[in-house]
Amino acid sequence: MAKTKVKFICQSCGYESAKWMGKCPGCGQWNSMVEEKIKTNKTNRGVFQHSDNIKLSKPTSIMTIETKEEPRINTTINELNRVLGGGIVNGSLVLIGGDPGIGKSTLLLQACARLSETEKKVLYVSGEESVKQTKLRANRLSIATKNLFILAETDLENITKVIHEMNPDFIVIDSIQTIYHNQVTSAPGSVSQVRECTGELMRIAKTNGVPIFIVGHVTKEGSIAGPRLLEHMVDTVLYFEGERHHTFRILRAVKNRFGSTNEMGIFEMKETGLEEVLNPSEIFLEERSQGAAGSAVVASMEGTRPVLVEIQALIAPTSYGNPRRMATGLDHNRVSLLMAVLEKRVGLLLQNQDAYLKVAGGVKLDEPAVDLAVAISIASSFKDLPTRSTDVFFGEVGLTGEIRRVSRVEQRVQEAVKLGFKRIILPKANIGGWTKPAEVEVIGVVNISEALSHALGG
């Protein structure tokens, strides 16, 4: 017979304990252990029983397995297709997370509308809004299509019945934290509920071959709420990010079984919904100040797409014992490292200077190729000497001050030429093996001192 047991489960990492603890041993969070009732069956526990009625699967040699390239579903939203790896894969389970109000529901509703216009039957399950509220949002986005069906439901059993009766081609669950399984006694949004509901949705996706998108809430640290197991269960994890005070939104993939995790999709939030940004480099540089010290343009790669972004630095004498180091859109530790290199290898006295750096436009850069532009912007602000408005920089800076080679040089240069830049300063090791455009001057540098000499004119 089934016996009800009480367990305390951490809502951050899923750690289970027989007693309540103030601090979770698994992740170190305080007051995250919540009591949940678990039904267990004591009969035949721990005994493996083999039944002749069960059809066992047999191992197959990998050489005899036949595969074929399945066509992906085109959402007609190019930025979304790019991040997904070329489109939606049939039977895939995709998790999308982001801060409240960032545009997750708007993006998925627009994707549903585009898919329904291609004669696909789409089911949008809303656990946070009523049917009328979803309709009001659809009116704001100018969505009117007969193949888009809205269901306001939180019971997973009822959702499953509707899916089997309707047999849709595409499903959206908004959000997984509001859906509950009636056989699990804990509250919606708990670890047990999220785990069971996601597992059931995964079985539906794989069995019926229907792609399912689920929306996940995020914690105050920015990670998806619930156990880490949730990200392991799904095929793809997307993060929708952006500054609340900026109109640009960036869609990134942190896990993708069917494509690259380096791609980035850029959208602009407007009154009529999200619009694709086809040329992000031009958008990020349109408000750049001419002749201002502390500014440098870097050619960064986001997946297969080159993006030109402005890096700004402000170096000012400190009034405290310990100088401040602040960075927005850049790794704080990387900035401190580059300032130490400039002080040791170039002789810039930065130990009594406050440093404030940011990437214009709210973009986050994490590749090593941005090092050179960061170092030049710091030196430019410290010496109060502006860089040329037609210069682009990229390269990795080593601890001994050398400039190391980076990848995809030709794509970076072509993007700079397309936007009218005339001079590119890059690692000398990257010169050669590709065709240099005639209308741009390419300068290869070996160390940071040589790069500063070219960039600041002495």
> In residues, how long is the chain?
458
Q: Contact, 445 vs 426, CB < 8 A?
A: yes
What class is the 282-456 domain? Answer: alpha beta
Distance CA 424, CA 104 (A): 38
CB pairs under 8 A, 24+ apart, for 332-340? 334/371, 334/374, 335/374, 337/399, 338/371, 338/374, 338/375, 338/378, 338/397, 339/378
Instruction: Quick: pLDDT tens for 341-380.
Output: 999 999 999 999 999 999 987 788 989 999 999 999 999 9
Q: Is 121 annotated as a binding residue?
A: no
Those residues of the chain that have pLDDT short of 50 are 43-51, 458
Q: Topology of 78-277 in CATH?
A: Rossmann fold (3.40.50)
pLDDT at 28: 85
Q: Is 101 annotated as a binding residue?
A: yes
pLDDT at 43: 47
Q: Contact, 10 vs 26, CB < 8 A?
A: yes
Q: Is 199 annotated as a binding residue?
A: no
Domain limits, the chain: 2-41, 78-277, 282-456
pLDDT at 69: 74
pLDDT at 247: 78
Cα-based distances in Å from 175 to 97, 100, 255: 10, 12, 19
Instruction: For residue 164, give both structure tokens.
Output: 């089997």
**Cis ω for the linkage preceding 175 (within 30 of 0):** yes
Q: Contact, 427 vs 445, CB < 8 A?
A: yes
Distance CA 62, CA 66 (A): 9
Q: From the CB of residue 382, how many other CB atoms can be counted at a distance below 10 Å?
A: 22
Q: Is 102 annotated as a binding residue?
A: yes
Q: Is 289 annotated as a binding residue?
A: no
Cα-based distances in Å from 61 to 55, 57, 66, 70: 19, 13, 11, 22
Distance CA 346, CA 204 (A): 61
Instruction: For residue 194, give both structure tokens.
Output: 């999220």
The amino acid that residue 13 corresponds to is C
User: What residues pair up with 95 in beta bridges, in sequence order?
Assistant: 214, 237
Instruction: For residue 234, give both structure tokens.
Output: 């799904």
Q: Contact, 249 vs 267, CB < 8 A?
A: yes
105 three-class SS: helix
Q: Is 99 annotated as a binding residue?
A: yes
Burial class of residue 414 in the structure, from the number of CB atoms within 10 Å of its CB (0-12 exposed, 13-18 middle, 19+ buried) = middle
Q: Is 389 annotated as a binding residue?
A: no
pLDDT at 67: 77
pLDDT at 225: 56
Contacts of 95 (CB under 8 A, 6+ apart): 176, 213, 214, 216, 224, 230, 231, 234, 236, 237, 238
Q: Is 174 annotated as a binding residue?
A: no
